[in-house]
């Protein structure tokens, strides 16, 4: 009996040892995904800090199998060049925004910022998650050798200005930094003079008077950029823009990933989106209070001015959607908004 017990114990030890050995082999053979990603946000901004949190979450969820080297503040190439740098192999993924790529196809405008269509980030996430957004976007991205992975949307942005900024009348001859895309068309209709420049050139241009104001980010990120050290007025809450920054990876890089890594990155982006939108609500409320105490004038535009703006937006959408892809993508958004009752 003792001999049988000893035999069973030895067999059990051997089984455990074999399991541990196989586990070590599995660990050694675990797939690794190494990604070089660029974002236009600096580490000093709230969005930059959220990007780092995304990296930490992905590493934890993948048990270190997904390793991300993040290049902050467009340190490899200019912000608008990040997409091409990823598509051609200089980087692996782009964490800027689709609207930088409108020169390729105006459809990218409607992949990045509807400029006055959605009222809040949650409506826009709903289109992505429940309105066929992933499939619609990847028709466009795949045709450009990229895979759309997800969005993170801080919420409506605020324009900063060194001059009076109380309504549409103040836009006449107002020179401001603008991202490329439909936003330039909208503000030209309203009398402003948009100047397209890289994200990281804004502070110097504002400081030297090349521009009177800037379309950069929401008030919290604007503080991180130092804009209110120069600009004395802003609008709050924002209305003109709600960019959806994306994570997009080169198609062959994405296709080579194991399915669990793809799922981790997609779910990680969805988590980042929720955390980013909600923390910006909290931070913007506190930032608004702080800016008022520092003497920055926060202007809320009248409903009459907003009606003028919305009219310019809808005219500009129609003029900007000049390709089959842009028309299809715009119509997908508008159909979803109409079904929500958020647009006639």
Do 102 and 181 form a contact (C-beta atoms < 8 A)? yes
Strand order in the sheet with 66-71: 66-71, 33-39, 93-95, 245-250, 146-152
Residue-wise pLDDT tens digits, 16-26: 444 444 444 34
Domains and CATH numbers, the chain: 32-156+243-282 (3.40.190.170), 160-240+296-340 (3.40.190.10)
More confident residue, 282 or 46: 282
More confident residue, 4 or 211: 211
Residue-wise pLDDT tens digits, 37-57: 999 999 988 889 999 999 999
Give yes or no for residue 129 having a pLDDT over 60.
yes
Give yes or no for residue 4 having a pLDDT over 70.
no
Residue-wise pLDDT tens digits, 63-121: 999 999 999 999 999 999 999 999 999 999 999 999 899 999 999 999 989 988 898 99
> In a 3-state reduction of DSSP, which class is residue 94?
strand
> What pLDDT band is residue 300 in, cutting at 50, 70 and 90?
very high
**pLDDT score of 199:** 80
Give yes or no for residue 338 having a pLDDT over 70.
yes
What would the mean pLDDT of 138-167 be, rounded to a whole number?
Answer: 97
Do 200 and 81 form a contact (C-beta atoms < 8 A)? no
Tokens of 27: 């660990």
Can you list the positions of beta strands (E) in the chain?
Answer: 33-39, 66-71, 93-95, 146-152, 160-161, 175-178, 193-196, 213-214, 233-235, 245-250, 297-299
Closest CA to 339 of 137, 131, 121, 109: 131
Tokens of 239: 């209305």
CA angle 189/115/177 to nearest 5° reads 65
Do 42 and 48 form a contact (C-beta atoms < 8 A)? yes
Residue-wise pLDDT tens digits, 162-185: 999 999 999 999 999 998 889 999
**pLDDT score of 69:** 98
**pLDDT score of 44:** 87
Residues 6+ positions from 211 with CB-CB distance below 8 Å: 175, 176, 177, 195, 202, 205
**pLDDT score of 343:** 79
**pLDDT score of 29:** 59
Residue-wise pLDDT tens digits, 302-324: 999 999 998 999 999 999 999 99
* Partners of 177 in the β-ladder: 195, 214
Residue-wise pLDDT tens digits, 175-233: 999 988 899 999 999 999 999 998 889 999 999 999 999 999 999 989 989 999 999 99
């Amino acid at each position: 009996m003792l001999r049988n017990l000893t035999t069973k114990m030895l067999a059990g030890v051997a089984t455990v040892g074999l399991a541990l050995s196989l586990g070590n082999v599995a660990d050694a053979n675990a797939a690794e995904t190494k990604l070089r990603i660029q974002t236009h946000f600096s580490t000093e901004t709230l969005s930059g800090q959220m990007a780092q949190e995304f990296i930490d979450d992905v590493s934890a969820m993948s048990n270190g199998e997904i390793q991300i080297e993040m290049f902050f503040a467009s340190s490899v190439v200019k912000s608008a060049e990040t997409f091409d740098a990823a598509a051609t192999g200089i980087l692996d993924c782009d964490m800027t925004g689709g609207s930088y790529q409108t020169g390729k196809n105006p459809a990218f405008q409607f992949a990045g910022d509807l400029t006055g269509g959605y009222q809040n980030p949650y409506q826009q996430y709903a289109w992505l998650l429940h309105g066929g957004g992933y499939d619609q976007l990847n028709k466009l991205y795949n045709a450009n050798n990229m895979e759309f992975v997800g969005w993170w949307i801080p919420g409506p942005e605020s324009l900063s200005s060194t001059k009076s900024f109380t309504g549409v009348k103040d836009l006449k001859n107002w020179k401001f930094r603008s991202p490329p895309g439909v936003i330039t068309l909208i503000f030209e209709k309203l009398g402003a003079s948009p100047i397209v420049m890289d994200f990281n050139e804004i502070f110097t241009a504002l400081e030297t008077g090349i521009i009177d104001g800037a379309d950069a980010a929401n008030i919290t990120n604007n503080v991180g950029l130092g804009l209110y050290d120069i600009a004395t007025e802003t609008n709050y809450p924002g209305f003109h823009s709600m960019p959806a920054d994306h994570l997009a990876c080169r198609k062959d890089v994405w296709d080579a990933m194991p399915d669990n890594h793809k799922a981790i990155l997609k779910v990680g982006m969805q988590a980042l989106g929720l955390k980013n939108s909600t923390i910006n609500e909290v931070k913007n409320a506190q930032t608004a209070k702080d800016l008022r105490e520092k003497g920055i004038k926060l202007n809320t535009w009248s409903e009459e001015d907003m009606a003028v703006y919305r009219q310019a937006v809808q005219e500009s959408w129609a003029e900007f959607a000049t390709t089959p892809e842009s028309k299809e993508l715009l119509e997908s958004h508008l159909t979803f908004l109409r079904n929500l009752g958020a647009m006639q």
